[in-house]
Amino acid sequence: MKIAYFDTIAGISGDMTLGAFVSAGLPLEELTAELKKLNVPGFELQASHIEHSGIVATRIEVIITHEPHSHRHLKDINAMIERSSLSDFVKQTAKKIFFEVAVAEATVHKSTLEKIHFHEVGAIDSIVDIVGTAVCIEKFNIDAVYSSPVRTGHGGFVNTQHGKMPVPTPATVEILKGYPTVLTDIPYELTTPTGAAIIKALSHGVLGIERMNVESVGYGAGTREIEQAPNLLRLLVGELETPYRHDEIVVVETNIDDMNPEVYPYVMERLMSAGAHDAYLVPIIMKKGRPGIMLSAMVERSKLDAVLGVLFRETSTLGARIQPVERRKLPRTQKQVTTSLGAVTVKSIVRDGTEKLVPEFEECKRLAVEKNLPLIEVYRILEKELHQ
């Protein structure tokens, strides 16, 4: 699996990300050509080399020649992206990053996704940074993104459209909630909201680089000289040395001892519909010796709020525990095979170069009804034929 690993030596920003990918081998002309598909006039990209602590890095600058307005709503930016001739992958990836910024801004300013309007991140240079990052991910054929714990500055201030803000800014803190973060003693804005959103939207979590077979390395440069650390973002591109896929999900748990047990199957269905990968019940003994149920759901962080909404709306719970967990899984795909019962969709699981075909329950159920056979007989037939 080909991955991109962001080593946030001195944080991460949009322009540092573009610089790192160009440094790693993406031609600037190719990146520029893709960004022109946005059909947004008034900008050009310039690249230069900057040395920090003896390391030569690439600095990307978005030169604005015309900016009619920089205050845009999320719907305006999404519409701009959708109107473009960019690939579907780039469009969806860019919109995921903007969504993280929008959620954070709405939370900080006590507003809604519909009403919130971007200031700095709505400007052309930030749009170019975010869409350009999506282009870079596609050009390098990246399957997954990982990072080091995100380093942020601390103790200083930065001037924004909203006035003077503490470092890290409220939006950056909001975006990085739940993601491993290091508050340094450097009083500068190391990680910007754009950089934080890139990590939050794309990263599968923190990864030790010793598991990588590194193919290319790039350094994106910040402009400021920092005494405490070289002002760089390091990008490592390569293959993940593991037979397993790796990601990070969130486990949501709550203990309940006062709810009608007939409700639980419905709640489980609603959790799965809300995006949970799995949901399960465990009998427990609670305080005062009362029997209860621990209701757990596994979900991607992007769908956490939807799962919490189901718990608080459909159950009697007043709170939930949320824990990030690392997950390993075997590569799997779906494929259609021909059997004596007809065409069947099965799960293809690969381990140590050997493929194993597993019939899906819904397919077996369908065949049992169509062929008027016992479900267990359908399983027996398929397992025998698939394992020949």
Pair (55, 190) in one structural domain = yes
pLDDT tens-digit map of 54-79 = 999 999 999 888 765 556 788 889 99
Whether residues 348 and 205 fall in one domain: no
**Residues 40 and 173 reside in one and the same domain:** yes
In this structure, what token pair is assigned to residue 67?
Answer: 């900016």
The pLDDT of residue 214: 94
Domain count, the chain: 3
- CA–CA dist 154, 166 (Å, integer): 8
With CA atoms as reference, report the closest residue to 301 among 316, 318, 323: 323
Boundary (domain end) residue, out of 242, 271, 290: 242
Q: Are residues 186 and 319 in the same domain?
A: no
**Is the CB of residue 281 less than 8 Å from the CB of residue 264?**
yes
pLDDT of residue 119: 56
Sequence letter at residue 39: N
* Under 8 Å between Cβ of 316 and 308: no
What is the per-residue pLDDT for 42?
Answer: 81
Backbone angles phi, psi at 129, to 5 degrees: -60, -45
Q: What's the pLDDT score for residue 69?
A: 56
- Closest by Cα among 195, 202, 388 to 300: 202
**Whole-number percent of the chain with pLDDT over 90:** 63
Instruction: Indicate the average pLDDT of the chain.
Output: 90
Q: Which three-class secondary structure state does DSSP give residue 229?
A: coil
pLDDT at position 105 is 85
Structure tokens at 372: 């008027």
Spatial separation of the C-alpha atoms in residues 276 and 252, rounded to whole Å: 10
How many residues can be counted in the chain? 388
- CATH number, domain of 258, equals 3.30.70.1380
pLDDT digits (tens, 9 = 90+) for 235-290: 999 988 766 777 778 999 999 999 999 999 999 999 999 999 999 999 999 988 99
Closest Cα partner for 363 from 334, 388, 387, 385?
Answer: 334
How sure is the predictor about 51, in pLDDT bands with cuts at 50, 70 and 90? very high
Closest CA to 15 of 3, 28, 5, 30: 28
Rounded Cα–Cα distance for residues 21 and 119 (Å): 26
Q: Which of 214, 242, 270 is the last residue of a domain?
A: 242
- Residue 371's pLDDT is what? 93
Q: 272: which 2 tokens?
A: 């799965």
pLDDT, tens digit, for every residue of 110-129? 877 777 666 545 578 889 99
Query: Does one domain contain both 90 and 208?
Result: yes
Q: 172 and 310 share a domain?
A: no
Question: Which runs of consecutive H residues, i.e. helices, occur in the chain?
Answer: 14-23, 28-35, 74-83, 88-108, 124-139, 170-175, 193-202, 264-273, 304-314, 361-371, 375-386
Residue 309: the pLDDT is 95
Instruction: Tell me the pLDDT tens digit for each residue of 175-185.
Output: 999 899 999 99
Which pLDDT score is estimated for 17?
Answer: 98
Q: Are 151 and 190 in contact (CB under 8 A)?
A: yes
User: Based on the domain organization, do 308 and 345 belong to the same domain?
Assistant: no
240 or 143, which is more confident: 143
Q: What is the pLDDT of residues 83-101, one digit of tens each?
A: 999 999 999 999 999 999 8
Query: Can you read off the two tokens belonging to residue 322?
Result: 């949320």
CA angle 96, 81, 176 (to 5 degrees): 25
- Give the per-residue pLDDT at 377: 95
Q: The pTM is what?
A: 0.66
Among 242, 187, 219, 200, which residue's Cα sits nearest to residue 99? 200
* Per-residue pLDDT band at 203 (split at 50, 70, 90): very high
Residues 181, 34 share a domain:
yes
Least-confidence region, from 146-150, 314-318, 359-363:
359-363
Longest Cα–Cα distance of the chain, Å, equals: 76
Give residue 118's domain range. Answer: 2-242
pLDDT of residue 71: 67
Cα(144)–Cα(4) distance, integer angstroms: 7
**Final residue of a domain: which of 207, 242, 277?**
242
pLDDT classification of 31: cutoffs 50, 70, 90? very high
Pair 112, 225 in one domain:
yes
**What is the torsion angle, in degrees rounded to the nearest 10, for the CA atoms of residue 14, residue 16, residue 17 and residue 21?**
140
Q: Is the pLDDT of residue 210 over 70?
A: no
Residue at token pair 């596609």: 138
Tokens of 4: 């991109």
- Residue 26 — pLDDT band, cuts 50, 70, 90? very high
Q: What is the pLDDT of residue 25?
A: 97
- The pLDDT value recorded for residue 298 is 95
Query: Is pLDDT of 16 > 70?
Result: yes
Residue 201 has pLDDT above 80, yes or no: yes
Same domain flag for 221 and 237:
yes
pLDDT at residue 355, rounded to an integer:
81
Considering the domain architecture, whether residues 325 and 373 belong to the same structural domain is answered as no
Give the three-class secondary structure for 215: strand
Do 112 and 78 reside in the same domain of the chain?
A: yes
As a whole number, mean pLDDT of residues 3-32 equals 97
